[in-house]
């Protein structure tokens, strides 16, 4: 059991949870994730570690209310409540080295996991240019945190309601055309990471992406999170979640992400029906 110490709304549909988990906080590293189960009958869902405080013994989770479990967590769990299972830290940490100039791209809720990576890369002497993007202004968050660990922060919105109008690949391409970029990290929706990877490959700059396939146990036993990288099958939970974006079979990943969409919609509909009955 892990107690929720603080819950706050970051922006439309996205919430921050500070959770008591000293054993995880003491071992957490940038790029890793957790598997949580809200209650005994809940499903197991992966959440990237957005932040942690070893001294306080806490971890920070950023959750977007999309499916049944994330809606349930953001709507029914609050300060003082306990999450049934929190397992982690899982996955291989980011390879934090001094590369030179690193562009960190965070799209949507991917802004949260890109933050500790940018912070870690900055701490070893890299120059950090961060691109944060969202569909519109009310879906942006943590810009102050990103600014604090970046030498330059570029913000985009699809509709132009904040920052520059457009998608994250546009300033990324401009930076690569100008030269001097040594490495890229990109985290966000799969389609966003796909197009960031295509741009990076065009200019021959290495890009690291964090994959988010369907996942169950998080320890490499079930095989559900398999992805194809450089023509080989990898398990995102133990071989990743970070991979060379230029080597990922994006079409296969996108197809696998859509495999259970009907079941996910049915589960959400059933949950919403239960909530209406309670009201």
User: What structural domains does the chain harbor?
Assistant: 2-90 (2.40.30.10), 101-257 (3.40.50.80)
Whether 31 shows a pLDDT value over 90: the answer reads yes
d(CA 35, CA 100): 33
Average pLDDT in the 236-245 region? Answer: 94
Is residue 279 very low, low, confident or very high in pLDDT (cuts 50, 70, 90)?
very low
pLDDT at residue 251, as a whole number: 93
Whether 184 shows a pLDDT value over 80: the answer reads yes
Whether 239 shows a pLDDT value over 70: the answer reads yes
| Of 55, 90, 82, 51, the residue nearest 215 (C-alpha) | 90
pLDDT at residue 275, as a whole number: 62
For residue 240, count other CB atoms closer than 10 A to its CB.
Answer: 23
Q: Strands across the sheet with 101-107, in order? A: 164-165, 152-157, 127-134, 101-107, 183-187, 207-210, 242-244
Average pLDDT in the 163-184 region? Answer: 96
Whether 276 shows a pLDDT value over 60: the answer reads no
3 in Cβ contact with 30 (< 8 Å): no
Whether 272 shows a pLDDT value over 90: the answer reads no
- Mean per-residue pLDDT over the chain, rounded: 93
Query: Which of 94-103, 232-241, 260-269 is the least confident region?
Result: 260-269
Whether 61 shows a pLDDT value over 90: the answer reads yes
138 in Cβ contact with 11 (< 8 Å): yes
d(CA 77, CA 72): 7
Q: For the segment 212-223, what is each residue's pLDDT rounded down to a tens digit?
A: 888 888 888 888
Q: Where are the beta strands (DSSP E) in the chain?
A: 2-11, 14-20, 33-37, 45-48, 51-53, 58-64, 82-83, 85-90, 101-107, 127-134, 152-157, 164-165, 183-187, 207-210, 226-229, 232-235, 242-244
Query: Which of 3-17, 24-38, 228-242, 257-271 is the least confident region?
Result: 257-271
d(CA 133, CA 5): 29
Identify the residue whose tokens are 């992406």: 209
Whether 253 shows a pLDDT value over 60: the answer reads yes
Residue 134 CB partners (closer than 8 Å, separation 6+)? 107, 108, 111, 140, 156, 157, 158
DSSP 48-65: E--EEETTTTEEEEEEE-
Tell me the two tokens of residue 207: 């890009």
pTM: 0.93
């Amino acid at each position: 059991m892990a107690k929720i110490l603080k819950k706050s709304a970051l922006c439309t549909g996205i919430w921050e949870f500070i959770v008591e988990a000293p054993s995880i906080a003491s071992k957490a590293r940038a790029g890793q994730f957790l598997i949580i189960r809200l209650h005994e009958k809940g499903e197991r869902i992966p959440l990237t570690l957005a932040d942690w405080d070893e001294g306080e013994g806490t971890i920070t989770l950023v959750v977007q209310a999309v499916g049944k479990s994330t809606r349930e967590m953001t709507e029914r769990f609050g300060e003082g409540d306990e999450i049934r299972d929190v397992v982690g830290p899982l996955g291989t940490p980011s390879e934090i080295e001094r590369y030179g100039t690193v562009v960190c791209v965070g799209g949507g809720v991917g802004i949260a996991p890109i933050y500790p990576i940018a912070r870690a890369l900055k701490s070893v002497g890299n120059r950090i240019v961060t691109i944060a993007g969202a569909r519109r202004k009310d879906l942006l968050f943590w810009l102050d945190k990103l600014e604090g660990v970046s030498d330059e922060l570029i913000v985009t919105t699809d509709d132009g309601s904040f920052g520059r109008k457009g998608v994250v690949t546009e300033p990324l391409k401009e930076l690569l055309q100008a030269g001097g970029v040594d490495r890229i990290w990109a985290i966000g929706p799969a389609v966003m990471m796909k197009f960031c990877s295509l741009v990076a490959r065009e200019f021959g700059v290495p890009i690291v992406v964090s994959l988010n396939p369907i996942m169950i146990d998080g320890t490499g036993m079930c095989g559900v999170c398999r992805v194809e990288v450089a023509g080989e099958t990898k398990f995102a939970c133990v071989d990743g979640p970070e991979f060379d974006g230029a080597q990922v079979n994006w079409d296969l990943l996108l197809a696998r992400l859509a495999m259970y969409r009907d079941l996910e919609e049915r589960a959400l509909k059933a949950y919403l029906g239960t909530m209406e009955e309670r009201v």
